[in-house]
Structure 1
Amino acid sequence: MSLFDGRTLSGWHAAPRSYGSLWPGGPGIRTALPELPPDYDALANAHPAHWEVVDGAIEGFQDPALAGYGGYLVSDQSYTDFELELEMRPDWPADTGVMLRRRPDSWHGLQVLVDHRKSGSIGGFFGNGIGSFHAVPFVLDVAHGGDGRPVRLVVEDPGTSLEPMTPDKPAMLTRRGDPQEFLEHWRFEDWNSLRIRCVGDRPTVTTWVNDVLVAEIDLATLQVPHYDADEVAGFLGRSGHLALEVHDNDPRFGEGRWGRGARCRWRNIAIKELFTNS
């Protein structure tokens, strides 16, 4: 079933970039990011990301009037078990992603990362407000051509990382793909496909990029600090919304997270709902 008609944002609604607790009942985001300015919430609400349809694709970008703040494009409908397929074309750098089982009123949910930036992951996972875990199989950087422009993705050099690839991150995954196979199939500055399978009360979520397995996580058996499978399942519920993301520029990364004038693009968004006994 198509979720985007190629002409309008019917079936979706925009929401400002918001933060909340780091896990259900846990402390707020300022525990992890005390450097956020005191007027962050007011500015984020006043200057949310923009979403528009351009040449048959959804484009998301920061507010040109005051860049640095993000937002979400949230599905009106919620979904339980499904396979989601779409095509994506993010600029470099652009920190975006696809949220699953998202609550309608907050940032909480599981995010499939499309962090097309230095130290980023494409196809890994982040637990938005459900433990803030970072489960990724590899991290990426960009190679530059002779004119200094980015020309292709590469596996990041650990010595230059802005966000270290620690052993616990791939250890959270039940399956992880090969970075070289991923790089061989990724088309820089072109369209790439993303397929996501999400099944279960405490779902197992699997991702493929251009039909190459990237990662799989089992939220029923995941054991990391501040994550409780039963508590999160009750908090998120059996179904949730989808959301596309435009990240904000936090003090840590600045425009390395979202370049000035950068856009993310999405098209051919379709879902197959699965009816399982899980």
Structure 2
Amino acid sequence: MDVDGDDETGFRPLFDGRTLDGWLPAPRVYGSVRPGGPMLAAVSDHPLPDPAEAAAHAAVWRVEDGAIVGEQDAPGSGFGGYLVSEEAFGDFELRLQMKPDWPADTGVMVRRLRDSWEGLQVLVDHRRSGSIGGFYGNGLAGFHAVPFAIDAGLDGDGRPDRLVQQDPATSVEPITPEKRALLARAGDADAFLAAWRFGDWNDLRVRCVGALPVLTTWVNDVLVAELDVAAITWPGFDAEAVLDVLGPRGHIAFEVHDNDPLLGEERWGVGAACRWRDVRLRDLSG
């Protein structure tokens, strides 16, 4: 059952608007492809960042004008990172506001392990061929469950000023039937695009319920996607192994992605930032 988007009963802040108390910075360092599987670096089609360099240049996180801001260190370095909650959570509804630059490949992880990259990611891929509100399995066989792909529309001077749906024929990460079929519910692209406020703050709502959770996302009160993790059928995905690794509780984390040969600076532009504010959570475990 959907939760009323206007009901703020029972929510508590996870960010005080002034400091990063309760949050831990971490480098974006890759682990195994799936529980018990090979390391991603051993099977990746392109080289991954050196772990020592990634740790030395982990993303920079600060508070500015009441918002968490995440950037690459240094701008254009190509290295990413996470900001991880000290607290772990079971079933919950998370609400926040987000304002990513274009292009900025970011996201919100839930049920994440504190000290390694495994977890369930709500995508905020604000870039060509991206998804906002879809899902990815970090270290969980890399499942990609998304309803549609986005790109930027351009104004008369060639500057991005809105989101548009990307033509699947030109996508570098095409939305295949297999990706869309993972979703228990898939939102309407036109409704999402009409609701998105380009260059401004947008509301994200995430519900996470169950040991292997059902994840549901809304952007500006428009349903984007729902995924039943226990029902995933994807190459290499083993639900029991995932539950053994993640457990029924985990951390929340914000992401600054690293660059790669596939997208380069189209994944994270030089000087780009992601921003998060009004981060609050309601416990649904009881």
TM-score of the alignment, normalized to the shorter chain, above 0.5? yes
Partner of 1:54: 64
Cα distance between partner residues in 2 of 1:209 and 1:32 = 35
How much has 1:261 moved relative to structure 2? 0.3
Match status 1:193 vs 2:184: no
Match status 1:13 vs 2:24: yes
Runs of 4 or more above 4 Å deviation? none
| CA pair 83-171 structure 1, distance change in 2 beyond 3 A | same
How much has 1:159 moved relative to structure 2? 2.6
Partner of 2:171: 161
Normalised by the length of structure 1, the TM-score is 0.97
User: Which deviates more, 162-171 or 186-195?
Assistant: 162-171
What SS class does the counterpart of residue 190 from structure 2 fall into?
helix
Percentage identity across paired residues of the two chains: 60
How much has 1:30 moved relative to structure 2? 2.1
C-alpha deviations, 1:132-191, integer Å up to 9, x for none?
A: 000000000011111111010000012321111111111000001000000010000000
Unaligned ranges ≥5, structure 2: 1-11
Q: 1:145 aligns with which of 126, 151, 155?
A: 155
Describe how 1:56-75 pairs up with structure 2 within 5 A: 56-64=66-74, 67-75=77-85
C-alpha deviations, 1:203-248, integer Å up to 9, x for none?
A: 0000000000000000111111111111101110110000000000
Cα distance between partner residues in 2 of 1:35 and 1:186 = 33
Cα distance between partner residues in 2 of 1:172 and 1:31 = 27
What SS class does the counterpart of residue 254 from structure 2 fall into?
strand
Q: 1:47, 1:66 within 8 Å by CA — same for their partners in 2?
A: no
Cα distance between partner residues in 2 of 1:45 and 1:63 = 11
Cα distance between partner residues in 2 of 1:141 and 1:33 = 25
Q: 2:14 aligns with which of 3, 7, 19?
A: 3
How much has 1:66 moved relative to structure 2? 6.0
What SS class does the counterpart of residue 10 from structure 1 fall into?
coil
What SS class does the counterpart of residue 170 from structure 1 fall into?
helix
User: Which deviates more, 111-120 or 42-51?
Assistant: 42-51
Cα distance between partner residues in 1 of 2:140 and 2:73 = 28
| CA pair 32-214 structure 1, distance change in 2 beyond 3 A | farther
Amino acid across the alignment from 2:87: Q
Cα distance between partner residues in 2 of 1:251 and 1:4 = 34
What SS class does the counterpart of residue 118 from structure 1 fall into?
coil
Q: 2:147, 2:175 within 8 Å by CA — same for their partners in 1?
A: no
| CA pair 149-32 structure 1, distance change in 2 beyond 3 A | farther
How much has 1:34 moved relative to structure 2? 4.2
Partner of 2:95: 85
Match status 1:28 vs 2:42: no
Describe how 1:1-278 pairs up with structure 2 within 5 A: 1-36=12-47, 40-64=50-74, 67-276=77-286
Partner of 2:9: none
